Structure 1
């Protein structure tokens, strides 16, 4: 499904990003594991290579213009020009709290990693995709944008909404070059180890589960495997005539 593709996946040293990377490698792509957690990225790349896949590890802070440029150059040197970009890096980066108590620093950090990082990484690979007249960009937004829920996550939800706008704007601009730009919007995903990222308390996680699952068509939280196939599909040539779309993978929570 992804034979011959070279994919750069940000935030892929753990959790969802790792699942995307392993799925891509299993389907034939060469994968650059890009993460601020350099040691973790190396472990994932080594695990993929041990299974016969092709992968390299790239240290990358997506909020840094210089780090992104350097990381993309290293990935290209190791694997070849990037044909698929998955902008997965992101997170809360602050405890859940009421809107008036977030600091400017917390707000800026959420936007820098979730939104600006997606733009910086896209900007870095667009020239080579244009030259090839082919490319796939898959952004990771969130179903929370549809409802503004759960509450007390204003910077995160705002950034994820910005990713929807980025997806649509880039799709319009890059379509003439046969570059597709889409987004996947995960719903409630069963919490796992976030490798040092700020996580929800058990009480808060349960309250969110109790709030969301009854409104889904499929009455369970999602798991990482529910998302990987959707991301891989949008990265493949099977999705070559799909662009500017947001695919909700949420058990039918944000049913439209």
Structure 2
């Protein structure tokens, strides 16, 4: 199904996990994709794999904590493909998770917020400014988390950053509606990516994570990517300002 033929997307955090899976899903639907990551070699590797599979993609560097870098990414994407229709602000990190926030150095809070929250802010601004100037509208999709709505121990910076993403998504959707730009978010539960590798070593922790979902398993990256691709499509044209939970019902029952 190539229902988005000719459109152009940027995917940040595109070198692995949800980002790379989404880049592949979008390309399958006819989108030309810029795979962007601080790991430039990884981004180029994913883009090369997409090209080998007869898709159209370009790997590029971005540091989402640096507004100038995000602006340069959008400019480079438009220079390469002549337009921008979809911005997926996906780059993110977990907090350290080892200490109560009373004992965490402030630097840990600022590190997480600078990537998860400020990176989304910069990405929305850069993409929306181009879309407004082009007059073509577009879709901005942000990666939030079910942790925007619930609390876990030792993850205050992560909770703060993802709750901010949900609030920014709503506010940006209202500000940008006049330009025919939709802004939505996905809020995954736990996803089987490299971000959870440290927890695989502890069977008790790993089992707890699995049980947090109704069907007792975490999501695979492609299961999130399918929802992102839907939200980017015209089938979702009346979904705006919402964070869509992709969590196998994790928010809906008491564990």
TM-score by length of 1: 0.91
2-structure distance, mates of 1:186, 1:208: 19
* CA deviations over 1:106-148 (Å, ceiling 9, x no partner): 1111011000000101111112212324110110000122211
* CA deviations over 1:55-105 (Å, ceiling 9, x no partner): 111110000011111111111111122110001000125343211122111
* Partner in structure 2 of residue 136 of structure 1: 139
Of 165-174 and 220-229, the range deviating more from structure 2: 220-229
2-structure distance, mates of 1:142, 1:171: 18
- The answer as to whether partners of 2:200 and 2:206 remain within 8 angstroms in 1 is no
1-structure distance, mates of 2:127, 2:150: 32
* CA deviations over 1:166-185 (Å, ceiling 9, x no partner): 00000111112211111001
2-structure distance, mates of 1:207, 1:168: 37
2-structure distance, mates of 1:81, 1:133: 9
2-structure distance, mates of 1:82, 1:10: 14
- The answer as to whether partners of 1:187 and 1:222 remain within 8 angstroms in 2 is yes
Q: CA deviation at 1:199?
A: 5.0
Of 211-220 and 242-251, the range deviating more from structure 2: 211-220
1-structure distance, mates of 2:43, 2:113: 23
> 1:86/1:100 Cα in 2 relative to 1: closer, same or farther (>3 Å)?
same
Q: Do structure 1's residue 74 and structure 2's residue 76 form an aligned pair?
A: yes
Q: CA deviation at 1:242?
A: 0.7
1-structure distance, mates of 2:75, 2:157: 31
TM-score by length of 2: 0.92
- The answer as to whether partners of 1:96 and 1:200 remain within 8 angstroms in 2 is no
Gaps of 5+ in 2: none
Q: CA deviation at 1:3?
A: 1.5
Q: Do structure 1's residue 88 and structure 2's residue 86 form an aligned pair?
A: no
2-structure distance, mates of 1:164, 1:171: 11
> 1:116/1:211 Cα in 2 relative to 1: closer, same or farther (>3 Å)?
same
Secondary structure of 1:25 counterpart: helix
1-structure distance, mates of 2:229, 2:183: 13
* Partner in structure 2 of residue 241 of structure 1: 238
* Partner in structure 1 of residue 149 of structure 2: 146
Gaps of 5+ in 1: none
Q: CA deviation at 1:208?
A: 4.6
2-structure distance, mates of 1:134, 1:219: 40
* Partner in structure 1 of residue 198 of structure 2: 200
Of 29-38 and 92-101, the range deviating more from structure 2: 92-101
CA RMSD of superposed structures (Å): 1.8
* Partner in structure 2 of residue 171 of structure 1: 173
2-structure distance, mates of 1:254, 1:187: 9
Q: Do structure 1's residue 218 and structure 2's residue 221 form an aligned pair?
A: no
Of 159-168 and 85-94, the range deviating more from structure 2: 85-94
- The answer as to whether partners of 1:62 and 1:117 remain within 8 angstroms in 2 is yes
Of 33-42 and 214-223, the range deviating more from structure 2: 214-223
> Which residue of 116, 129, 137 corresponds with 1:127?
129
